[in-house]
Each structure stands twice: as C-alpha cells, then as structure tokens.
Structure 1
Amino acid sequence: MSEDADGTDDGAGDYASPPCFMHAVEAGAPGAGPAVRPNPDVVRWRKAERERLIAARLAVPAAEREAWGERIAGHLETAIGDPQGLVVSLYWPFRGEPDLRPLMARLADRGARTALPVVVERGRPLAFRAWRAGERLERGVWNIPVPADGDAVVPQVVVAPVVGFDRALYRLGYGGGFFDRTLAALPARPRVFGVGYRMAEIATIHPQPHDIAMDAILTEAGAVAPAG
C-alpha cells in the first residue's frame, strides 16, 4: 500500500499495521462509492499528526504499553459481551499497537469464532479468515501475518486499532481505502470498536465526508465519552 490517510499516494513505507483498519476512502476506488476529492490541507495535517502520534506511543516503555493493552482488552471484552456464536475480527499488532492476541484466545475459548483480515487485492474490500492461536499463519501482502487455512467468514464485531481519535468517535488511521470500503461491502454493518491509548486523543481528526465514526472507542481508561 502506498496511499496516505486521505487517499493520496504517500510511499509504501508508511504502512505498519493491517490495512483493514485504515479508514479513508481512496477516491474513485472500486466499491468505495462516489469519488471524494481530499482536502489537501487535511491530507498534510493528518500525515504529520500520524507520524507524531506513532512516535509518541513508541516512546512509551514496552512494559507500560503491555499493561495498557491488558486494560484495553478487559474493557473490550466487557463491551463485546457474551461472545458465544459471534464472529469477531481483531488484528495483528504492529508498531506499539495494543496487543489483543491474548483476548482473541479468551474469546475463542468462550465460544467466539475469531478472525483476521486479509488483503485480497489493492482497491478492493478485505476478506476475513477464521483464525485462532496455534493455527498456521503465512505472510500476506506487506508481510502482514494472515491465516493460511482459515475459512472465509463475515464478522459481526470488528476491532480496529487507532493512531488517533477524537470525542466524536472518529479515528485517525494509517491511510488507505480499506476500512470504509470493507464496511460498505459487508451484508450487514458489524459493531465496530476502535482501540488505542488515551494519549492518542486529539481535539478533532477534521472528519471528511468519507470518514465513519466508530460505535465506541476504548482506551486503557475505558470507553471514550462521546462529545455532546
């Protein structure tokens, strides 16, 4: 992938997380709906803000991030509720994101079918494949681990890591068209939880017409209180 958070080309090296959770629509991409011309000022601002926020979280000691991640996992488990029979998509952590793999194992033990996202083709919605700890993985696009043998599934819960967020429950992602495109392609919208550290809160992400608010955003301090 090589587009920034608002659908503009930015260099493949900017990507460090499963693009399933990159939230901006690539203007004119198949399945993305009407083309949206990105605001160049917002594009520049988001790029700089993304770099600042990633650097800030990477500066936090790993042990502290791990403790935060455990608290986030507890809040998320409560928010999801009884997982029996649910298909829950999480993510493979990169660059200091909360590591929710232990939560994946707990949800699977409690009757959920857990899954990871898979990039099928640039500019197309993601697929989701069933996976639980111990099952075989392979390197997918951009070297992101994906299930090697899992069945295709449709998630009822999607968990998305955030780079930044605001109290309108909008998330600043990594950039790329996958998140909105994938939601639009699913037969029914899943519950969507953004997860990240409290330090990632910003006043606003300057939402554009294509941005989608999360159903909830959870940090180590709990659920973010929506603005208003």
Structure 2
Amino acid sequence: MKSGARNQAFAARKAAFAAGQGQAAEILADFLAPHSGRALAGYMPMRTEIDPLPAMAAHVGTVGVPVIIGEGQPLRFREWSPGCAMVPGAFGALIPPEGAWVTPEVLIVPLVGFDRRGYRLGYGGGFYDRTLEGLRARGPVLAVGFAFSAQEMPEVPIEATDQPLDVIVTERGVITV
C-alpha cells in the first residue's frame, strides 16, 4: 500500500514544485519564530522537496542538518549555517564535513505525503521514524512536517513504527494535528 501511495504523492509533489512554493518558507519562519533559542534541525532539499533553507537561515539559535550514519540507524545532526562548507553525504544530500553535533528540540521533517492525523509518508528507509522515537524518548521535541499542500492525502498507510508529526506547514498555512 505504501508503494502505491508514495508514487501518487511523488507525482503531486513534482507538480506542486513546478508551480512554485509561494510563501511556504515565510510561513515556516513565522511558525518557528516563537522557538528561537531552541536547537533546530532542518534538511537540505533534494529534487522536488520544498525548500526550508530560508526559514533555517532566519532561525535564532543553533541549526543542524541530518547526517545518515548507517542503514537502520537514527539520523544525527551536524551544525549548519548559511555558506558553511558542504559535501555530498549518503543518498546525495549535502552535509557539513565537520562540526558540532546538534540534538534538536525542533525538527523540520521532509516528506512525500501527509494526512491530517499527523502521519507522514517518507522515502521508506525509516530514518525519521527511528530518529523521532529516539528524540522523544529523551524529552520533548516538536516535529514539524514541511510540504506542499498538494502532498496531503486522505489517509497515509501506517505501521506500528511510524511516528506522527505535531504540525504540518505548507504554502497555505499551518495544520495542527
């Protein structure tokens, strides 16, 4: 079921990407503003992913980006700032080659599809589910899905290991779950 849903969501995301992201980054930055001073982790957008970089750059506080340590492992986050040195990491995502590790209190999560229950459809590797599970075991973390509104699905197929998001931000606004 997830494979078919993922194909539909990729097509919707591709079409939305071609149309432009509108005010999505500004809406995300406004949403994150009350969380200034908290450690934030975002992501380096790839292909047709919506771009969180302007919101990450506007954040007052430490910002990290994901580093894939290995298959079946949770993500770690290395400190990032606009203009810092970057190298290709696993799956081609850019990562800082060195720097401090960050434990995020707020996590911007990329996705392929989402529903209003807060569930996300990812790429299938389970990296963010493992990461959120581990972070939540340590204490509170705010999981913010960032996507085009066209990526919304009536219901994401879920498994017992899927971790829900707390909120989803799109170019149309904030969806609280």
Q: 1:95 is matched with which residue?
A: 47
Task: Give 1 or 2 for the bigger CA radius of gyration.
Answer: 1
Query: Structure 1 residues 189, 122: closer, same or farther in 2, change over 3 A?
Result: farther
Cα deviations by residue, 1:31-89 (Å, 9 ceiling, x for unpaired): xxxxxxxxxxxxxx211121122123223463x3232xxx2222222222334322110
Query: Structure 1 residues 61, 202: closer, same or farther in 2, change over 3 A?
Result: closer
Q: Which runs of 5+ in 2 are unaligned?
A: none
- Is it true that 1:150 corresponds to 2:99 in the alignment? yes
Higher strand share: 2
Output aligned runs, 1:59-78, within 5 Å.
59-60=15-16, 62=18, 64-67=19-22, 71-78=23-30
Q: Which runs of 5+ in 1 are unaligned?
A: 1-44
Q: Distance in 2 between matches of 1:151 and 1:197?
A: 31
Cα deviations by residue, 1:118-150 (Å, 9 ceiling, x for unpaired): 011211111111001111111111221111122
Q: 1:14 is matched with which residue?
A: none
Secondary structure in 1 aligned to 2:20? helix
Q: 2:161 is matched with which residue?
A: 210
Query: Structure 1 residues 114, 51: closer, same or farther in 2, change over 3 A?
Result: same
Aligned counterpart for 1:105 among listed residues 50, 57, 74: 57
Q: Distance in 1 between matches of 2:33 and 2:73?
A: 31
- Is it true that 1:51 corresponds to 2:51 in the alignment? no
May I ask how many residue pairs the two structures share in their alignment? 175
Q: Give the fraction of aligned pairs with identical amino acids, expressed as a percent.
A: 34
Q: Distance in 2 between matches of 1:97 and 1:56?
A: 11
Letter in 2 for 1:194: G
Letter in 2 for 1:75: I
Cα deviations by residue, 1:131-173 (Å, 9 ceiling, x for unpaired): 0111111111122111112201100100012211111111111
Cα deviations by residue, 1:83-114 (Å, 9 ceiling, x for unpaired): 4322110111122111111222111xxx2111
CA contact 2:168–2:175 (8 Å) conserved in 1: yes
Output aligned runs, 1:71-86, within 5 Å.
71-86=23-38
Aligned counterpart for 1:195 among listed residues 138, 143, 146: 146
Secondary structure in 2 aligned to 1:185? helix
Once the two structures are TM-superposed, the CA of residue 189 in structure 1 deviates from its matched residue by 3.6
CA contact 2:46–2:93 (8 Å) conserved in 1: no
Secondary structure in 1 aligned to 2:65? strand
Q: Distance in 1 between matches of 2:36 and 2:151?
A: 32
Q: TM-score, structure 2 length as denominator?
A: 0.90
Q: 1:160 is matched with which residue?
A: 109
Q: TM-score, structure 1 length as denominator?
A: 0.71
Aligned counterpart for 2:131 among listed residues 177, 182, 186: 182
Once the two structures are TM-superposed, the CA of residue 225 in structure 1 deviates from its matched residue by 5.4
